[in-house]
Structure 1
Amino acid sequence: MTQLSSPPSPVPPSDIPSALAGTAATPDASAHLEETGGDAETGRLVIVSNRVANLRSTGQAGGLAVGLAETLKERDGIWFGWNGAPDGVTGGEVQVERVGPAEQVTVPLSPKDVAGYYLGYANSVLWPLFHYRLDLVDYRPAFYESYQRVNETFARQLAPFLKDDDLIWVHDYHLIPLARCLRKAGCRQRIGFFLHIPFPPPDILVASPNHAELVEALLDYDVIGFQTQADAVNLKAYLAERSPAVQLDDTRFRVGTRTVTIDRFPIGIDAKGFAAMTREADDEVQIDLMRRQVLGRRQIIGVDRLDYSKGLPERLKAFDRLMAQHPELEKSVTYLQVAPPTREKVGAYGDIRAELEALVGAINGRLADFNWTPIRYIHRSVDRAKLAPLMRGSQVGFVTPLRDGMNLVAKEYVAAQDPADPGVLVLSRFAGAAEEMHEALLVNPYDIDEMARTLYQALTMPLAERRRRHEALLDHVMRHDARAWQEAFLAALSGATGSAARPQQAPS
């Protein structure tokens, strides 16, 4: 839901758009475009993220790397972020490369700050906290100091590149304090923030010793965007309980002399582009599809980073329960789980890998036959050009995170299906996508028996019902695509009036 090649992994792939296509706007986008006169391209677009996409590449792995790189190829702008090398010097030399009308600006980080800012505060504190996993939060004051230091350094390095009328779009939990740091550096441009992962309710957020500072920093943005209405409501509830911010209407808050917009902007995918990939299977994938067709075997597919938030052990247990309850399915159904590694230097990720591999071995050891392996487990990245036809050839898409910002795999699975004979999406109620994709079979990922029953329902669903559900899901995925997401957010940011003294040239 993005897999840039250099470790550590930049942004969770299930939480960002896979590409840009189409021009249809969401209802949210239409409203924002109407309010701002339909012009979401005032000035340059400056994108800031933890990692920078390769703007020269035509074959990005997906996610943010594709979703916004194409936009910068169409308009003047900058993409700014860490260069991904683990052995630099924080605040060191800035590298600038022009690609068409845009500039790719990358900066280094020291090993100490990679450990403290990225692996530490971002991924050992904020990631588990925002995914409701307080038991996995590893808070250390030094992590927060590194997190603040990196954001302050990024702001100092970015400020000289900014122009008066730039729109600055900051992405994800690594960079929550960046607007505050830019304001202190004298920047008065419109700055928006989009959170790709969930935002927790107040009673979970306050478990962080720095919760007040984080929310105060968020309020220095002009537009704060979330994946779901539930995430936006969580921030609004925190403000109502613990902040002097005054709510003006459903989405606008008065913060001192400024107005801040808080709204949902659900991410989409390049549905047309992903669907086109399904018709370009290489020989290896075609052989696999034909073999299953000859043997009359159906396939359940899951595609997730190996992350504790994805509910992978529960998913394997549900498949095992399905086989126990319906032995007639043995040798006729396989489960393919693609789970590429991520953040392997964080201890919790080693634990989930060991648990998953033990489960796969135990289930296969008990059920497998010489010509049937019930679970096929792939612990490496698989090219999207292979995943798309594999999804199309799978009769069930199994997408059951314990908590997820959006989960674009669900949307990709729908886009990949043959409308004449579509598969069935089994989707967690706790994925952000569930707020939109009502025609999927929604499940509680903590309830193993319910997931097993739902898998059986999906495998035995009549064609007419499969077509009806898929038609509605595909219509939504096609209309609410990645470009609609961008148009909605940038229209809101173009119309923002929150900054105190705008526009003003950033200091050089």
Structure 2
Amino acid sequence: MSRLIIVSNRVAPISEGGPAAGGLAVGVYDALKETGGMWFGWSGDVLASGQPQIQLEEHGPVTFATIGLLRRDYDQYYRGFSNATLWPAFHYRADLVQYDRHDFEGYRRVNGWLAHQLVPLLRDDDIIWVHDYHLIPFAEALRAAGVKNRIGFFLHIPFPASQVLLAVPTHHELVKALCSFDLLGFQTKPDLRAFCDYVVNEADGSVMQQPDGLTRVEAFGQTLFAGDYPIGVYPDEIAELARAGERGKPVRTLKATLHGRKVIMSVDRLDYSKGLVERFRAFERLLDQHPTQRNNVSFVQIAPPTRADLHAYQDIRLRLEAESGRINGRYAELDWTPIWYIHRQYERAVLAALFRASQVGYVTPLRDGMNLVAKEYVSAQDPEDPGVLVLSRFAGAAQELTGALIVNPLDIDGMADALAMALALPLAERVARYRDMMAQLRENNVSVWRDRFMRDLTQIGDKRRAALPLRSKAAHEAVQGQDQG
């Protein structure tokens, strides 16, 4: 059996129930344990000097291969192009894009260097699965080194519309690099459609829908395949974590402090893409327009720190602290704090229990590839008395979780109305919405996501031989017109 080689920017530490054991970590680690293989990537160490060396660590059939980065490489590859250029652009924040050609050169250099480190560890029949925006040029670098293995790529964040991607000066080089993979995976059909639009309209390429649902792409002299693979969770496992934590100290403390008040719960990394400021203001609007909710509901926002050395993240933290202080100053009473803003990280088991203890899950990013918090919130609910999910239409999860109350995160009044509706929704409707979403989560759990992608990547040679003629640009535009109509 072929080994599976996972390549990601960070190699996640695996600790059962720990904070890092989320979607990517759980899904790919299970696959590695089943097939045997290797997880390769940055260790998280930043070195002042020297020559970083690969560290190999065996855990049963899985080898963890990690390597540090020099400070210059970290600054250009990670802080620079990955997170100051690609992250804002792919999340539709062209106004926050910072571009420096030296950072892009560093991004490509580090991808090439990492690929060079991996090559000696590969076997001829290995299947390579590369993850996320940090590693877009990785397959191109492997191909240049003579690697002929099947290589897949999955983008965990959104793929932006062409006119947004054009804000990145090196957009052409990025999409060309993507075309060195055999299979591209996107979270949603709109993301896949955006990639195909770029190929046809900006790269003079061609796309063709295949009978098996994949899209055949021809661009930059390459032929590859692309599809949408919405990542999932293990809903029953999360439900068990939530049940086990119901009597734990965090939940007991929360309930004792609230004295029977309802809870609106949010958990997000501290990031400008998450719509946190808009979320705070919509909660304020709820208290303003629905006075009966005052002293009857509290909003708990858990926002662990992330990328604290980037100015944009320092700014969003200061804005949130100011907003929570202002709103609490306006509405708080001696025995009631409207907003609990918590700037720290909790383990998954604790979060699952807190989700179960809350009446509303409040997940309203301005743009998100999927957002597994939405799926975890639903999974954690008590089937007999479930809470209600308020979800942004711009989260990939909104394509599946139609039982949520779907909102536009820029519509402050609309979000306030949705919160009021969620707090008042009758039990029968809450149960019906919950059951509908749980059925979807079980049908498309993280194993299904992983197995679909691996099946398609494994069979990619057969798909190439069976590929149909490509669709012309005119035909593509005609089909897009039908889709929009």
TM-score under structure 2 normalisation?
0.91
**8 A Cα contact 1:427 1:443, kept in partner:** yes
Query: Is structure 2 residue 252 aligned with structure 1 residue 287?
Result: yes
Q: Give the whole-Å Cα distance in 2 for the aligned partners of 1:485 and 1:129.
A: 26
Instruction: Output one character per residue of 1:70-121: Cα deviation in whole Å (capped at 9) or x when no partner.
Output: 3222221010001101126586211111111121111121011111100100
Which among 4, 7, 10 is matched to residue 51 of structure 1?
10
Shift of the alpha carbon at 1:499? 11
Q: Which one-letter code corresponds to 1:123 in the other structure?
A: N
**8 A Cα contact 1:259 1:498, kept in partner:** no
Query: Is structure 2 residue 78 aligned with structure 1 residue 118?
Result: yes
Instruction: Output one character per residue of 1:204-243: Cα deviation in whole Å (capped at 9) or x when no partner.
Output: 1111110000000000000000000000000000011122
Which residue of structure 2 aligns with residue 336 of structure 1? 300
- For the residue of structure 2 that corresponds to 1:198, the secondary structure is coil
Shift of the alpha carbon at 1:245? 2.8
Instruction: Output one character per residue of 1:24-48: Cα deviation in whole Å (capped at 9) or x when no partner.
Output: xxxxxxxxxxxxxxxxxx5110000
Q: Give the whole-Å Cα distance in 2 for the aligned partners of 1:285 and 1:143.
A: 43
Q: Give the whole-Å Cα distance in 2 for the aligned partners of 1:89 and 1:481.
A: 43
Q: Which one-letter code corresponds to 2:3 in the other structure?
A: R
Query: Is structure 2 residue 170 aligned with structure 1 residue 206?
Result: no
Shift of the alpha carbon at 1:142? 1.1
Of residues 96-105 and 439-448 in structure 1, the stretch that sits farther from structure 2 once superposed is: 96-105
Number of matched pairs: 458
**8 A Cα contact 2:5 2:39, kept in partner:** yes
Structure 1 unaligned blocks of 5 or more:
1-41, 501-508
Q: Which one-letter code corresponds to 2:16 in the other structure?
A: T
Shift of the alpha carbon at 1:375? 0.5
Structure 1 stretches of 4+ moved >6 Å: none
Which residue of structure 2 aligns with residue 218 of structure 1? 178
Which residue of structure 1 aligns with residue 218 of structure 2? 254
Which among 306, 316, 328 is matched to residue 352 of structure 1?
316
- For the residue of structure 2 that corresponds to 1:370, the secondary structure is coil
What does residue range 481-500 of structure 1 map to in structure 2 within 5 Å? 481-497=445-461
- For the residue of structure 1 that corresponds to 2:370, the secondary structure is coil
State the Cα RMSD in Å: 1.8
Structure 2 unaligned blocks of 5 or more:
465-485
Query: Is structure 2 residue 136 aligned with structure 1 residue 136?
Result: no
Which residue of structure 2 aligns with residue 39 of structure 1? none
What does residue range 172-187 of structure 1 map to in structure 2 within 5 Å? 172-187=132-147
Q: Give the whole-Å Cα distance in 1 for the aligned partners of 2:4 and 2:434.
A: 36
Q: Which one-letter code corresponds to 1:235 in the other structure?
A: F
Which residue of structure 1 aligns with residue 478 of structure 2? none
**8 A Cα contact 1:268 1:477, kept in partner:** yes
Query: Is structure 2 residue 347 aligned with structure 1 residue 383?
Result: yes
What does residue range 429-468 of structure 1 map to in structure 2 within 5 Å? 429-468=393-432
Change (3 A) 1:496 1:257: farther
Query: Is structure 2 residue 380 aligned with structure 1 residue 420?
Result: no
Change (3 A) 1:150 1:91: farther
Q: Which one-letter code corresponds to 2:256 in the other structure?
A: R
Instruction: Output one character per residue of 1:323-358: Cα deviation in whole Å (capped at 9) or x when no partner.
Output: 011111111100000000000111100111010000
Q: Which one-letter code corresponds to 1:168 in the other structure?
A: I
Shift of the alpha carbon at 1:485? 0.4
Shift of the alpha carbon at 1:427? 0.3
Query: Is structure 2 residue 120 aligned with structure 1 residue 160?
Result: yes
**8 A Cα contact 1:301 1:335, kept in partner:** yes
Of residues 231-240 and 98-107 in structure 1, the stretch that sits farther from structure 2 once superposed is: 98-107
Q: Give the whole-Å Cα distance in 2 for the aligned partners of 1:213 and 1:497.
A: 25
Q: Give the whole-Å Cα distance in 2 for the aligned partners of 1:497 and 1:255.
A: 18
Shift of the alpha carbon at 1:271? 1.1
Shift of the alpha carbon at 1:291? 2.3
Of residues 90-99 and 425-434 in structure 1, the stretch that sits farther from structure 2 once superposed is: 90-99
Which among 365, 368, 371 is matched to residue 404 of structure 1?
368
Q: Which one-letter code corresponds to 2:321 in the other structure?
A: E
Q: Give the whole-Å Cα distance in 1 for the aligned partners of 2:170 and 2:265.
A: 39
Shift of the alpha carbon at 1:289? 4.8
**8 A Cα contact 1:89 1:109, kept in partner:** no
Q: Give the whole-Å Cα distance in 2 for the aligned partners of 1:256 and 1:173.
A: 20
Q: Which one-letter code corresponds to 1:54 in the other structure?
A: P
**8 A Cα contact 2:285 2:413, kept in partner:** yes
Change (3 A) 1:422 1:124: same
- For the residue of structure 2 that corresponds to 1:474, the secondary structure is helix
- For the residue of structure 1 that corresponds to 2:69, the secondary structure is coil
Shift of the alpha carbon at 1:256? 6.8
**8 A Cα contact 1:444 1:451, kept in partner:** yes
Query: Is structure 2 residue 280 aligned with structure 1 residue 316?
Result: yes
Query: Is structure 2 residue 190 aligned with structure 1 residue 230?
Result: yes
- For the residue of structure 2 that corresponds to 1:118, the secondary structure is helix
Q: Give the whole-Å Cα distance in 2 for the aligned partners of 1:134 and 1:265.
A: 26
Q: Give the whole-Å Cα distance in 1 for the aligned partners of 2:209 and 2:123.
A: 31
Shift of the alpha carbon at 1:158? 0.3
Q: Give the whole-Å Cα distance in 1 for the aligned partners of 2:384 and 2:463.
A: 51
- For the residue of structure 1 that corresponds to 2:39, the secondary structure is strand
Q: Which one-letter code corresponds to 2:114 in the other structure?
A: F
Shift of the alpha carbon at 1:419? 1.1
Identity within the alignment, %: 50
Q: Give the whole-Å Cα distance in 2 for the aligned partners of 1:79 and 1:334.
A: 42
Query: Is structure 2 residue 45 aligned with structure 1 residue 81?
Result: no
Q: Give the whole-Å Cα distance in 2 for the aligned partners of 1:499 and 1:86.
A: 42
TM-score under structure 1 normalisation?
0.87
Q: Which one-letter code corresponds to 1:246 in the other structure?
A: S
Q: Give the whole-Å Cα distance in 2 for the aligned partners of 1:59 and 1:478.
A: 20
Q: Which one-letter code corresponds to 1:421 in the other structure?
A: D
